[in-house]
């Protein structure tokens, strides 16, 4: 005859977080639920710990044991919310896109480049009459002085980024636990991988116990628990693979996958991106030629209309400002076109990246926050996921505080670039970029919101005022104080 005995099972209690069930972490107080089960002794395996005198068995199920404050199951929900959507689409100023969509303003686009061609011809003729050369190369000699060192530094920087693959492999296998890996998709997925393994172990242990138990009440409790675990496992697994299921974590941690990510013109990593069917050699040639041609325009404008009018301390600030405002605005537009239309589309074509939405119609912006969202979509997506939403989800900041933190961090990084370039700490760019916050407040006033044309005019006035002011401050290294009496 088979005798029965009592088994006590310790199961971690789950609490409701954001309308979902998430495991209690080690940093919080843990309570336990005790379930009494009746199991036939003959069904006990050699792995069971059986006390022959008391005829009892104790099975302890260890739930997720992760030393962090955030609930990792809720993290899987956050990951889904933080995804940036990629889909096949063209860039708005691309010639093929404008023709395909029959853009009514494509004639102005053509007019702009014809005007730029005449602009170059006029400048070349002026240089021939004045100095006998097509283009003055003094500025080229200035910024090409350390060209070899720059290329070597860039090569070392790119090569160093491949260490990320090795580091993420180490983290994914649980060999190290570094708290800063929780920043970004890789850190989140490594934490979810640890939780997934723990949940699977718990599921398998409960499944074996359910088969051995003869108590219907216990079976119902365990079955309900198994159902919850199965749901959690499926949802976490869905966060760790691409929608098509072809790429999953940690199988994506390869050098080829990372190299592909470096080629794709986006700062946000995803398992899969929308792809084009093939590379079009003529399109690559067109964008490469457009890059060189636009850079020539940029160089001629800088050499002819900016460097000669850099003001001295004895010159009126108003005269310097007005003299540099239009050339700086032209440079700003040309730099935008080179980066987001030419270079980004060039790399997108080489990598077969189908989402060419690198910018929106920022020129129609009525507020500076709208401009910040539209003019540089790769950086906007990065800040949205890794700064703004992370500040809200992980640090429980309000939307207003998260917006301030995003602007603050972006301003610091931009100023860091200027510090490296100028080798001086001046904080001009940081101050002017942070000054956008009160401008955003002004742009959202009811009078501005009711009249978008007024907000757009206010935006363009700020764009005309900002770049030349920065140029005067950084290029001249002169404080505004001597100019107060010369305005």
Q: What confidence tens digit (pLDDT) does each residue in 392-444 have?
A: 877 888 888 998 999 999 999 999 988 888 778 888 899 999 998 898 888 88
**What per-residue confidence (pLDDT) applies to 396?**
84
Most confident region among 184-198, 235-249, 432-446 by mean pLDDT: 432-446
**What per-residue confidence (pLDDT) applies to 412?**
93
**What per-residue confidence (pLDDT) applies to 344?**
96
**What per-residue confidence (pLDDT) applies to 244?**
78
More confident residue, 78 or 348: 348
**What per-residue confidence (pLDDT) applies to 312?**
65
Does pLDDT of 194 surpass 90? no
Same domain, 214 and 348: no
Same domain, 46 and 194: yes
Cα 243 to Cα 271: distance, rounded to the nearest angstrom: 9
Residue 193 lies in a domain: yes
Same domain, 297 and 344: yes
Same domain, 217 and 314: no
Does pLDDT of 40 surpass 80? no
Residue 149 lies in a domain: no
**What per-residue confidence (pLDDT) applies to 160?**
95
Same domain, 241 and 376: no
Residue 50 lies in a domain: yes
Q: Is the pTM of this model over 0.85?
A: no
Total residue length of the chain? 487
Same domain, 300 and 321: yes
Residue 457 lies in a domain: yes
Does pLDDT of 311 surpass 50? yes
Domains contained in the chain, number: 2
Residue 153 lies in a domain: no
338 φ/ψ sector (left φ>0, alpha ψ -120 to 50, else beta): alpha
Mean pLDDT, rounded, of the chain: 76
Is residue 27 a contact partner of residue 71, using CB atoms and an 8 Å limit?
A: no
Which residue shows structure tokens 């001046």?
426
Query: With bands split at pLDDT 50, 70 and 90, how would you rate the model's confidence at 219?
Result: low
From 211, 236, 263, give the residue that closes a domain: 263
Same domain, 375 and 425: yes
Is residue 353 a contact partner of residue 273, using CB atoms and an 8 Å limit?
A: yes
Does pLDDT of 359 surpass 70? yes
Residue 144 lies in a domain: no
**What per-residue confidence (pLDDT) applies to 96?**
85
**What per-residue confidence (pLDDT) applies to 117?**
86
Residue 304 lies in a domain: yes
**What per-residue confidence (pLDDT) applies to 31?**
34
Does pLDDT of 145 surpass 70? yes
More confident residue, 68 or 213: 213
Query: With bands split at pLDDT 50, 70 and 90, how would you rate the model's confidence at 274?
Result: very high
Query: With bands split at pLDDT 50, 70 and 90, how would you rate the model's confidence at 215?
Result: low
% helix / strand / coil in the chain, to the nearest 5?
60, 10, 30
Is residue 8 a contact partner of residue 36, using CB atoms and an 8 Å limit?
A: yes
Query: With bands split at pLDDT 50, 70 and 90, how would you rate the model's confidence at 213?
Result: low
**What per-residue confidence (pLDDT) applies to 456?**
93
Find the range with the poorest average confidence among 85-94, 178-187, 356-365, 384-393: 178-187
Find the range with the poorest average confidence among 18-27, 264-273, 461-470: 18-27
Cα 188 to Cα 386: distance, rounded to the nearest angstrom: 11
Residue-number span of the structural domain to which 359 is assigned: 275-483
**What per-residue confidence (pLDDT) applies to 287?**
94
Same domain, 191 and 243: yes
Q: Is 414 a catalytic residue?
A: yes
Which one of 224, 380, 386, 414 is the catalytic residue? 414
From 263, 291, 314, give the residue that closes a domain: 263
User: Could you give the count of Cα atoms lying within 13 Å of 266 in the half-sphere of its Cβ?
Assistant: 26
Q: Is 168 helix (H, G, I), strand (E, B) or coil?
A: helix
Cα 317 to Cα 377: distance, rounded to the nearest angstrom: 35
Residue 108 lies in a domain: no
Find the range with the poorest average confidence among 11-15, 143-147, 298-302, 331-335: 11-15
More confident residue, 139 or 274: 274
Does pLDDT of 310 surpass 70? yes
Same domain, 220 and 289: no
Cβ-in-10-Å burial (0-12, 13-18, 19+) of 192 comes to buried
**What per-residue confidence (pLDDT) applies to 320?**
78
Question: How open is the CA angle 219-224-227, to the nearest 5 degrees?
Answer: 120
Does pLDDT of 317 surpass 50? yes
**What per-residue confidence (pLDDT) applies to 288?**
95
From 242, 263, 284, give the residue that closes a domain: 263
The DSSP call for residue 305 is: H
Over range 295-319, report the average pLDDT. 80
User: DSSP H helical segments within 306-435, as ranges?
Assistant: 317-336, 344-350, 368-374, 377-383, 389-393, 399-422, 428-434
Over range 3-9, report the average pLDDT. 32
**Cis ω for the linkage preceding 250 (within 30 of 0):** yes
Q: Choose among 405, 379, 381, 380: nearest CA to 391.
A: 405
**What per-residue confidence (pLDDT) applies to 64?**
38
Q: Model confidence over 360-403: pLDDT tens digits? A: 999 999 999 899 999 999 999 999 888 888 888 778 888 889 98
Q: Across-strand partners of 40?
A: 4
**What per-residue confidence (pLDDT) applies to 279?**
94
Same domain, 224 and 184: yes
More confident residue, 108 or 28: 108
Gyration radius of the chain's alpha carbons? 31
Same domain, 398 and 420: yes
Same domain, 258 and 231: yes
More confident residue, 273 or 476: 273
300 sits in which H/E element: helix 281-305
């Amino acid at each position: 005859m088979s005798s029965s005995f009592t088994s006590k099972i310790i199961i971690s209690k789950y609490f409701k977080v954001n309308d979902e069930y998430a495991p209690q972490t080690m940093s919080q107080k843990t309570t336990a639920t005790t379930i009494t089960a009746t199991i036939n002794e003959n069904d006990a395996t050699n792995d069971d710990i059986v006390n022959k005198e008391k005829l009892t068995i104790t099975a302890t199920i260890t739930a997720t044991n992760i030393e962090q404050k955030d609930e990792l199951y809720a993290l899987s929900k956050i990951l889904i919310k933080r995804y940036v959507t990629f889909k096949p689409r063209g860039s708005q100023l691309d010639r093929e896109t404008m023709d395909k969509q029959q853009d009514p303003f494509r004639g102005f686009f053509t007019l702009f480049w014809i005007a730029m061609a005449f602009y170059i011809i006029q400048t070349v003729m002026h240089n021939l009459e004045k100095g006998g050369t097509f283009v003055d190369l003094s500025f080229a000699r200035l910024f090409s002085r350390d060209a070899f060192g720059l290329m070597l530094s860039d090569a070392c920087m790119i090569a160093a980024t491949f260490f990320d693959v090795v580091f993420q492999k180490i983290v994914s296998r649980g060999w190290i636990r570094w708290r800063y890996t929780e920043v970004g998709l890789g850190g989140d997925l490594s934490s979810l991988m640890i939780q997934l393994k723990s949940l699977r172990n718990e599921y398998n242990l409960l499944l074996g116990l359910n088969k051995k138990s003869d108590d219907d009440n216990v079976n119902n409790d365990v079955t309900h628990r198994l159902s919850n675990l199965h749901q959690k496992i499926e949802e976490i697994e869905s966060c760790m693979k691409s929608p098509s299921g072809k790429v999953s974590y940690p199988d994506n941690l390869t050098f080829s996958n990372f190299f592909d990510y470096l080629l794709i013109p986006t700062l946000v990593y995803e398992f899969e991106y929308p792809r084009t069917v093939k590379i079009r050699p003529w399109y690559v040639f067109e964008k490469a030629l457009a890059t060189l041609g636009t850079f020539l325009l940029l160089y001629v404008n800088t050499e002819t209309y900016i460097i000669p009018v850099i003001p001295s301390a004895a010159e009126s600030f108003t005269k310097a400002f007005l003299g540099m405002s239009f050339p700086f605005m032209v440079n700003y537009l040309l730099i935008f076109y080179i980066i987001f239309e030419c270079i980004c589309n060039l790399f997108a074509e080489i990598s077969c990246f189908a989402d060419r939405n690198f910018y929106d119609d920022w020129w129609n912006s009525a507020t500076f926050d709208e401009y910040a969202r539209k003019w540089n979509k790769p950086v906007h997506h990065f800040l949205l996921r890794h700064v703004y939403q992370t500040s809200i989800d992980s640090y429980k900041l309000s939307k207003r505080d998260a917006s301030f933190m995003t602007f603050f961090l972006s301003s610091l990084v931009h100023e860091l670039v200027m510090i490296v370039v100028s080798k001086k700490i001046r904080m001009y760019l940081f101050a002017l970029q942070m000054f956008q916050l009160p401008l955003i407040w002004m742009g959202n006033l009811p009078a501005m919101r009711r009249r978008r044309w007024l907000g757009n005019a206010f935006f363009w006035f700020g764009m005309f005022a900002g770049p030349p002011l920065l140029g005067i401050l950084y290029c001249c290294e002169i404080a505004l104080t001597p100019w107060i009496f010369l305005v």
